[in-house]
A = this chain, B = another copy of it.
């Protein structure tokens, strides 16, 4: 499989974690989101993904199939390589795990995407300080909500669900990494941070992290 990925993209990071947890090998195809106006916007890349976003997974099927959207990719990996499972067995528990992932994928990350921050600056003339406040606002609000959801639920263990990593952790860790990079206040989220720490003790998470990627920069 080939993963079109950018080292700092948290959506790419989610898929890298899932691939590692499943023990699946893949080739990284770096897509630099900033160089030359953004390699995700070249005609060649837009043929792969008309939305101009990473990640894209190219499968080993004949002919190879192009998969988009990190959650759709991870659900696909779960279906074709069920071991180790990233979703629990029972439907109610699966819904819980997916809802944590989606609270990150839908309520936090889209607001802090590169193209959204660019729109704020270029079209709405938002200054650097207000852009940073915007970033932190959605990150802190969203992670604080997830903290409340996690702290009250008996299904939470060492990880978001029980004592082994799930799809929810694949989403949580990259979002915390982004929050740390933008110096968000994470003091109100002890459960989120405890789970993040537990994950970052595992090689599957560490080797998926931005600094470990072939296209990493300082």
List residues of A whose CB falls within 8 A of some B CB: 50-53, 59, 61, 65, 67-69, 71-73, 75-76, 79-80, 91-92, 94-96, 98-99, 102-103, 105-107, 109-111, 116, 119-120, 123-124, 126, 130, 133-134, 137, 142, 145-146, 148-149
Given contacts A67-B96, A124-B134, 16 further A-B contacts (CB under 8 A): A50-B145, A51-B107, A51-B142, A67-B95, A69-B99, A72-B102, A75-B94, A75-B98, A76-B92, A76-B94, A105-B105, A107-B110, A110-B111, A119-B134, A123-B130, A124-B126
The reply to whether B51 and A72 contact each other, CB–CB distance below 8 Å, is no
A52: B residues at CB distance < 8 A: 145
A130: B residues at CB distance < 8 A: 123-124
Complex A-B: 19 CB contacts under 8 Å? A50-B149, A51-B107, A51-B145, A67-B96, A69-B106, A71-B98, A72-B96, A73-B95, A75-B94, A75-B98, A76-B91, A79-B91, A79-B94, A105-B106, A119-B134, A119-B137, A123-B134, A123-B137, A124-B124
Taken together as a complex, chains A and B put the C-alpha atoms of A86 and B59 apart, in Å, by: 23
The reply to whether A103 and B145 contact each other, CB–CB distance below 8 Å, is no
Taken together as a complex, chains A and B put the C-alpha atoms of A106 and B116 apart, in Å, by: 12
Chain B residue at minimal CB-CB distance from A144? B50
The reply to whether A109 and B106 contact each other, CB–CB distance below 8 Å, is yes
The reply to whether A111 and B111 contact each other, CB–CB distance below 8 Å, is yes
The reply to whether B95 and A75 contact each other, CB–CB distance below 8 Å, is yes
A50: B residues at CB distance < 8 A: 145, 148-149
A196 CB to nearest B CB, Å: 19
- Taking A61-B92, A111-B110, A124-B126 as contacts, is the C-beta distance between A103 and B148 under 8 angstroms? no
A99 CB to nearest B CB, Å: 4
- Taking A65-B92, A79-B91 as contacts, is the C-beta distance between A110 and B106 under 8 angstroms? yes
Looking at the complex, which one of B75, B79, B103 makes contact with A51 (CB distance below 8 Å)?
Answer: B103
